[in-house]
């Protein structure tokens, strides 16, 4: 891995290395571009492709979904729905110990998210007037679960369970990879319907509705560049969770950190995708060199070695910082999806961390613990967006509605101020709506 020292190259140079490309700056590989040219007749950008797919699905409904699924995925669809009997029988095809682990994870996720539920409230003003807030779950939510090179039952649990805890009436799921692990997890999580479609066409179908797929209020779940751009394209017609890019990890390590652990954790993200980002910031040059060597050694043993190696070569970085305060500053600048504190006193540094999707404290809280079993959600902001996005949570699936009820006496007591403010804005009809009651 590339090693840089902040005292030698300067703080600004380090920060420039920590800047990650946005999700919409990802370049398509020559192979994907060639395939797209064959499908669409010209070398369109990812944005242009997604806009065309979304527009066609909005206009043509199921016909466009069927057409693009055949062209892009090579699958001829008739019915989109995964039959309930296939969902119900999926557990039979999952190894019992794996199924038990899925159920344990589901219970931990459910318990954690139940703690997040906000409450409606009412407070009294004046003489029997009241103000309040009603917490109302969304009516229907769409969950996207990617296919690709791996199955993601963990993502199924992380997206569906918080919605169900929030009280969402109906949760539908779209996935191009309806394997037994995914179906079993969906059933355990409480899914209502599953549709076997993927890509931008699935996002558009959920956003606008088709003959077979109901329109949703919100779309959540990760996906590739085309899925993410489709979510951006349909935002406003429905809500979305966030615009997520490739996976990231940033580790802060002092000289007490175990280099074997640190290297393993860096590779745990690198194996996701060649675009994944693995960064370590340490106060020790010696440790930096040991971790870099460990990454090279452990990399050779990974089944997904080629993917992880491409990620490390492209986006791997070790920064030697002057002290832990500077390390925390660099971490806040990067705003990583996952932040590990492999230091002697992680809780002492915690107050200085302002921007991170999830924070893992200590040597025995590695990132995969949060990915799979602990309970907090693993759908996290990426690409520096942890500066303003939150982790997916129960409130993702809730609305807040204001409640206002004044008595005649209390309205009259405030009428002059309301009329004065309305007239100051030139909205005389607003003022009249109050004056007519006085």
Question: Which residues carry out catalysis?
Answer: 337-338
How many other β-carbons are positioned within 10 Å of the β-carbon of residue 386? 25
DSSP state of 394: G
CB 194 within 8 A of CB 186: yes
Separation of alpha carbons 93 and 76, rounded Å: 25
Query: Which bin fits 236, alpha (ψ -120 to 50), beta or left (φ > 0)?
Result: left
Our CA dihedral for 330, 332, 333, 335, rounded to 10 degrees, sits at: 120
Separation of alpha carbons 253 and 259, rounded Å: 9
DSSP state of 235: B
The side-by-side arrangement of strands in the sheet containing 140-144 is 193-195, 170-174, 140-144, 218-220, 239-240
How many other β-carbons are positioned within 10 Å of the β-carbon of residue 27? 12
CB 282 within 8 A of CB 253: yes
The string over 126-145, giving b where at least 16 C-beta atoms fall within 10 Å of a residue's C-beta and e elsewhere, is eeebeeeeebebbebbbbbb
For 234, list phi and psi in degrees, rounded to 5.
-90, -5
For residue 369, give the nearest of 223, 221, 249 by alpha carbon. 249
In the structure encoding, which two tokens stand for residue 230, read together? 């489709």
For 4, list phi and psi in degrees, rounded to 5.
-125, 155
């Amino acid at each position: 891995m590339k090693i840089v020292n902040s005292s030698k190259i300067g703080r600004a140079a380090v920060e420039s290395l920590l800047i990650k490309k946005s999700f919409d700056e990802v370049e398509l590989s020559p192979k994907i571009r060639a395939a797209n040219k064959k499908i669409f007749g010209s070398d369109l950008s990812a944005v242009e492709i997604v806009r065309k797919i979304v527009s066609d699905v909005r206009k043509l409904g199921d016909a466009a979904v069927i057409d693009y699924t055949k062209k892009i995925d090579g699958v001829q669809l008739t019915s989109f729905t995964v039959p309930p009997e296939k969902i119900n029988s999926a557990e039979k095809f999952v190894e019992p110990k794996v199924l038990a682990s899925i159920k344990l994870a589901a219970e931990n996720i459910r318990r954690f998210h139940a703690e997040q539920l906000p409450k409606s409230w009412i407070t009294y003003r004046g003489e029997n007037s009241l103000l309040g807030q009603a917490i109302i779950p969304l009516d229907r939510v769409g969950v996207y679960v990617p296919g690709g090179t791996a199955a993601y039952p963990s993502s199924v649990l992380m997206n569906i369970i918080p919605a169900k805890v929030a009280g969402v009436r109906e949760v539908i799921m779209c996935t191009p990879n309806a394997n037994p692990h995914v179906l079993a997890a969906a059933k355990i999580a409480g899914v209502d319907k599953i549709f076997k479609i993927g890509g931008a066409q699935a996002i558009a179908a959920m956003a606008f509705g088709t003959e077979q797929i109901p329109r949703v209020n919100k779309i959540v779940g990760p996906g590739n560049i085309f899925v993410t751009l489709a979510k951006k394209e349909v935002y406003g017609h429905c809500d979305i969770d966030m615009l997520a890019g490739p996976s990231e990890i940033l580790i802060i390590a002092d000289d007490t950190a175990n280099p074997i652990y640190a290297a393993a954790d860096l590779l745990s993200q690198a194996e996701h995708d060649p675009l994944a980002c693995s960064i370590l910031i340490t106060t020790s040059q010696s440790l930096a060199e040991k971790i870099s060597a460990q990454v090279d050694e452990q990399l050779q043993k990974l089944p997904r070695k080629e993917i992880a190696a491409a990620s490390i070569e492209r986006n791997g970085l070790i920064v030697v910082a002057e002290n832990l305060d500077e390390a925390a500053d660099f971490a806040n600048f990067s705003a990583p999806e996952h932040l590990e504190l492999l230091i002697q006193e992680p809780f002492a540094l915690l107050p200085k961390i302002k921007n991170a999707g999830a924070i893992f404290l200590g040597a025995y809280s590695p990132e995969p613990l949060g990915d799979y079993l602990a309970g907090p959600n693993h759908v996290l902001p990426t690409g520096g967006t942890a500066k303003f996005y939150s982790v997916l949570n129960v409130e993702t699936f809730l609305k807040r509605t204001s409640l206002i009820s004044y008595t005649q006496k209390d309205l009259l007591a405030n009428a002059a101020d309301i009329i004065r403010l309305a007239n100051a804005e030139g909205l005389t009809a607003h003022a009249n709506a109050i004056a007519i009651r006085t």
